[in-house]
Structure 1
Amino acid sequence: MLIISSSLIIMFISNIMMFLSILLSKKNNNDREKNSPFECGFDPKSSSRIPFSLHFFLITVIFLIFDVEIALIFPMIVNYKLVNHILWTKISFFFLMILLLGLYHEWNQNMLNWTN
């Protein structure tokens, strides 16, 4: 009974502290002037935001995925002499088939084209 009552008191006190921190926190009012870029006191000559290429982002994500896949293949090569060769061959074949199916799917979706 003591543990339940003390845990309820701790939960009640922590909820009160979180509620007070929300009420007393400094409000962040952003206006247009604060969010605009500052160029020595003058208005900016052109847009300060560079257009973002979604295609470049997708190619970067695909590169990172393949990079992680290579990091997963390295231990398979190191453990070749330490494990059963038939089991190693089956697991390696299954893993590489999954990777090739993913590559085929990305190729079908035209995600590997550099130019559009």
Structure 2
Amino acid sequence: MLENYLPVLIFMGVGLLVGIGMTAMGLMLSPHRPDREKNSPYECGFEAFEDARLKFDVRYYLVAILFIIFDLEIAFLFPWAVALDSIGTFGLVAMAIFLGLLVVGFIYEWKKGALEWE
């Protein structure tokens, strides 16, 4: 059983070591000379206009929800399409229910006006 997971564990271990190693090298080898200009907040090369903790319009959150809806749809449709022959009618009905729920979410977004920008 372990031989099935051993390549995955080795891959994760090597990835973790490479990530930690690169971060450590950057911290050890990079020059650290902070000054007033480097530590000052900026926005596109200019001084910040307002406080960074502004309230966002709710449409930004609705667009984020819309992205999650379509992202989930694609993430589940590809494996479903590959395995459709083996899962049969049950898989078809389950995916129809799933897509129906996503359509309900999309209609909610549409009615809330997330797709209309001024």
TM-score, normalised to structure 2's length? Answer: 0.48
Specify which structure has the higher proportion of helix: 2
Higher relative contact order (CA 8 A, sep 6+): 2
Please tell me whether Structure 1 or Structure 2 has the larger radius of gyration of its CA atoms: 1
